[in-house]
Every structure is written in C-alpha cells, then in structure tokens.
C-alpha cells in the first residue's frame, strides 16, 4: 500500500527543520534547514552535516539536505562547498556516507524501492494512502462544482 507521510517540522536555536519523508518513485527523503537569522557558510555546512546524521539515525533512508534563509531563498555555499546540498546514506557496513556533489541514481542505495521497509521505517508517522488522497481531491472538486453551479443559479435570479 502506497502512502504519503506527513512532513515533520522541528524548531532549533536560530533555525527550524522540515523533514519530507521519502515518497514512492524517489530514492531520497529531503530535509530543509530554514534559518531565521543570518548565519555564515561554514556554520551552515556544519549544521547541515549534523542534521543529516541526526535524521539518518532516526530514519535510515537516503537523504538530501538543503538550507534556506528566512525569505525562502536557497543558501549558496560556494566557495566552501561545490554545491548547495548534501546527500547522505548508510553504506553496506552501516557507515554514514556524505557527499557534497550530485550523485547518479545507481550511486544511491535503493532502499526506498522496498515499500515494506519504508513503511516500517516511518511507522511512527501519520500518513494517508494515495487512494485516500485521490478521494479527497475528488470530493473537493465535486464541492467546487456544486458551489459554481449554485453561484450561476443565484446570478440568474
């Protein structure tokens, strides 16, 4: 059964994090650090690496980490790092691998393709099935159509 898990939001000193669980078809979960205060690039890099480790131990699914300022703009980490994102995962020996570069799909473990494993990893998270989400969308469309119909009838009077 395919599921869409709720985003996790946590507050930290000077920033907050948003963890977006892996969704079907993606090899990575995503983590965003959003800074509410100005921060230098080297501190940003250190916090990104620390958060990656924290979240990988909690949810061992390959993870991509990015950082944003309070306006929602991506923080640029050059010349300290060649890219503005960090990718990490556990290797076969259970060591954390961190990469400050783009990786090819075949370089990233495909843990996320095993939905049973993913559902077990995220068992403590709230979720909705894609069938439930589809039904919610259909119901919203139906209500919207009814609302427009009533509006047009009222305008005709």
**72-102 confidence digits (pLDDT tens):** 999 999 999 999 999 999 999 999 999 999 9
Whether the predicted pLDDT of 12 surpasses 80 = yes
Whether the predicted pLDDT of 133 surpasses 50 = no
Rounded to two decimals, what is the model's pTM? 0.78
Whether the predicted pLDDT of 69 surpasses 80 = yes
> Per-residue confidence at 18, pLDDT binned at 50, 70, 90?
very high
Task: Compare 144 and 69 and report the one with higher pLDDT.
Answer: 69
CA separation for the pair 72, 32 (Å, rounded): 10
pLDDT above 70: percentage of residues in the chain: 86
What region does 22 belong to: left with phi over 0, alpha with psi -120 to 50, or beta? beta
Q: Which CATH number is associated with domain 3-125?
A: 3.10.310
> Per-residue confidence at 11, pLDDT binned at 50, 70, 90?
very high
Domain extent listing, the chain: 3-125, 128-157
Place of tokens 């969704």: 23
Phi, psi of 29 (to 5 degrees): -85, 165
Tens of pLDDT, residue by residue over 97-127, are 999 999 998 999 988 778 888 888 888 887 6
């Amino acid at each position: 059964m395919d599921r869409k898990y709720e985003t996790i939001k946590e507050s930290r000193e000077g920033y907050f994090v948003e963890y977006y669980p892996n969704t079907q078809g993606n090899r990575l979960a995503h983590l965003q650090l959003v800074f509410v205060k100005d921060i230098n690039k080297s501190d940003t890099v250190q916090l990104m690496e620390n958060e990656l480790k924290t979240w990988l131990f909690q949810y061992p699914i390959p993870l991509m980490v990015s950082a944003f300022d309070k306006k929602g703009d991506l923080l640029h980490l050059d010349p300290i790092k060649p890219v503005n994102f960090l990718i990490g995962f556990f290797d076969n020996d259970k060591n954390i691998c961190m990469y400050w570069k783009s990786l090819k799909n075949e370089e990233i473990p495909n843990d996320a393709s095993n939905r049973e494993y993913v559902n077990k990893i995220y068992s403590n998270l709230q979720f909705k099935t894609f069938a439930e989400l589809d039904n919610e969308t259909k119901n919203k469309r139906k209500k919207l159509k009814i609302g427009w119909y009533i509006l047009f009838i009222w305008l005709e009077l």
